[in-house]
Amino acid sequence: MSDRVYNFSAGPACLPESVLKQAQKDIWNIFDSGIGVLEHSHRNKYFDRITHETEADCRAVGNIPDDMAIFWMQGGATSQCYMVPANFLPEGRTADYFQTGKWANDSIDEVHLYGNVHICGSSKESNYNHIPKGDQVKYSENPVYVQFTSNNTIMGTEFKENPKAPGDAFLVADMSSNIYSRPMDFSQYGLVYAGAQKNLGPAGVTLLIGKKSLIDNPVRELPKMMQYGLCAKKEGRYNTPPTFGVYLMGQVFKWILAEGGLQAMEERNREKAAIIYDFIDSQDFFTPHAITEDRSDMNITFKCPSAELDAQFIEEAEAKGLTTLAGHRAIGGMRASIYNAFPKAGCEALVAFMKDFAHAHAGATA
């Protein structure tokens, strides 16, 4: 029997088994160099190879066009809350933001340091259970960019289509929790960023994909460490980068390519999510948080009829090897995070447990 359990963590999250096994070997001795990956200088020929392969494989996975740079930074996705307006928003101008949950709010909170913020759509009134669209969206007159969180990790909602930015405005997306979960047209964005610790690798490295024409022309003078263009030009190693994170992201890109690329990821993710959603839709013991048309294939949020039953569900699931199912404190209940590397068998095991639990507590009401 395996000594590993089903890890439904929202991030850091489970990684592909083959990647972890390769990493175990490479931590001891990578490329027959006699030195492990954690011990190599970020300026030697071995790390040159890691850097260049990671960039090339990232480009191949996402079919990233040549006019976009691929690079990485530290400080988590949270640092991008100020980096984006610092680099792109001139004083006195406005940027439009979709308010779809905590991560969007963290970004919205920083904009005033550099310019004006306009909330162009919000689902706050319904505790972020949907994505604002249609006549719920009102852009400002002439925004510099429109920012959205493509997948709301806490609430379990996902943009199924990109917002249509007005005029010359470009799109900025926080893709931390659904990057590379399905094919996406990256040419549509000015900038995409993603903390690696969900679909791409370990915590400590943030992937950025940005139009060269934008990142090379920051709208104000900035400290060197805050300049996207400089960071990209220096291949993410203006200073010492998180070398292990870069290496591991590279291994995850190789894994995605070997598994059939983003088309294969999408098919697998749809199938996994459907196992859980089909069951939720077929019964009335568990209630989903997100409305059906906006629900996420990555983070599935649901509740029992009472908070006491939620707590019992989480405890009993844990004892059965279904771990880290507690929902974020902002909404309570349960959250099953099933990123690319999460196995289908784990989704089936969760549904089997949900059935048993609902049966044992039949008759419980909210």
Ligand X SMILES: Cc1ncc(COP(=O)(O)O)c(C=O)c1O
Residue with tokens 């289908």: 344
| Contact map string, positions 179 to 198, toward ligand X, x by CB under 6 A | ----------------x---
Annotate each residue in 143-172 with x if it binds ligand X (CB under 6 A) or - if it does not, as one string. Answer: ------x---x-------------------
9, 33, 78, 162: residue in contact with ligand X (rule CB under 6 A): 78
**Token code pair at residue 214:** 């934008």
User: Out of 174, 235, 266, 310, which residue is the one contacting ligand X (CB under 6 A)?
Assistant: 174
Of the candidates 26, 57, 198, 255, the residue annotated as catalytic is 198
Q: Rule CB under 6 A: is residue 176 a binding residue for ligand X? A: yes
- DSSP character string of 42-81: TTSHHHHHHHHHHHHHHHHHHT--TTEEEEEESSHHHHHH
Q: Which residue type occupies 151?
A: N
Question: What is the distance between the alpha carbons of residues 8 and 300, in angstroms, rounded to a whole number?
Answer: 10
When binding is defined by CB under 6 A, the residue of 13, 77, 86, 155 that contacts ligand X is: 77
Active site residue 174: yes
If one counts every other C-beta atom within 10 angstroms of the C-beta of residue 273, the result is: 20
The residue type of 287 is T
Q: What is the dihedral of CA 337, 339, 344, 347, to 10 degrees?
A: 10
Fill in the per-residue mask, 35 to 64: x = in contact with ligand X (CB under 6 A), - = not in contact. ------------------------------
**Closest distance between ligand X and the C-beta of residue 279, in Å?**
25
| Residue 243 touches ligand X, criterion: CB under 6 A | no
HSE-up (13 A, CA, CB side) for residue 65:
13
Cβ at position 343, least distance to ligand X in Å: 21
Q: Is 32 a catalytic site residue?
A: no
| Cβ atoms of 159 and 137 closer than 8 Å | no
| Residue 83 touches ligand X, criterion: CB under 6 A | no
Q: What are the residue ranges of helices labelled H in 320-366?
A: 344-360
DSSP H helices, the chain, are 17-28, 45-62, 76-88, 102-108, 212-215, 228-233, 243-258, 261-281, 307-319, 344-360
Task: Quickly tell me which residue has 């590279």 as its tokens.
Answer: 250
Catalytic residue among 26, 57, 96, 103: 103
Q: Yes or no: say if 148 and 100 are a contact pair by the CB < 8 Å rule.
A: yes
Residue 146 falls in which region: left (phi positive, over 0), alpha (psi -120 to 50) or beta:
beta
Size of the site for ligand X (CB under 6 A): 11
Kind of pairing, strands 68-73 and 206-211? antiparallel
Judged by CB under 6 A, the stretch of 34-42, 66-74, 76-84, 326-334 that binds ligand X is 76-84
Q: Is there a catalytic annotation at residue 255? A: no
**Binding span for ligand X by CB under 6 A among 18-26, 38-46, 74-82, 339-347:** 74-82
The catalytically annotated residue of 174, 294, 297, 310 is 174
- Find the shortest distance in angstroms from Cβ 266 to ligand X: 19
Contact pick of 8, 11, 97, 115 for ligand X (by CB under 6 A)? 11
Tell me how far the alpha carbon of residue 178 is from its chain's centroid. 4
Task: Kindly indicate which of the ranges 51-59, 71-79, 281-289, 333-341 contains the residues binding ligand X, using the contact rule CB under 6 A.
Answer: 71-79
Give the nearest residue (CB) to ligand X: 76
Residue whose CB is less far from ligand X, 76 or 183: 76
Residue selected from 46, 71, 97, 103 as contacting ligand X according to rule CB under 6 A = 103
d(CA 123, CA 328): 17
Q: How far is the CB of 315 from ligand X (least distance, A)?
A: 24
Q: Would you count residue 76 as binding ligand X (CB under 6 A)?
A: yes
| Selected binder of ligand X within 100, 157, 177, 324 (CB under 6 A) | 177
**Which residues of this protein are in contact with ligand X, per CB under 6 A?**
11, 76-78, 103, 149, 153, 174, 176-177, 195
Active site residue ranges = 103, 174, 198
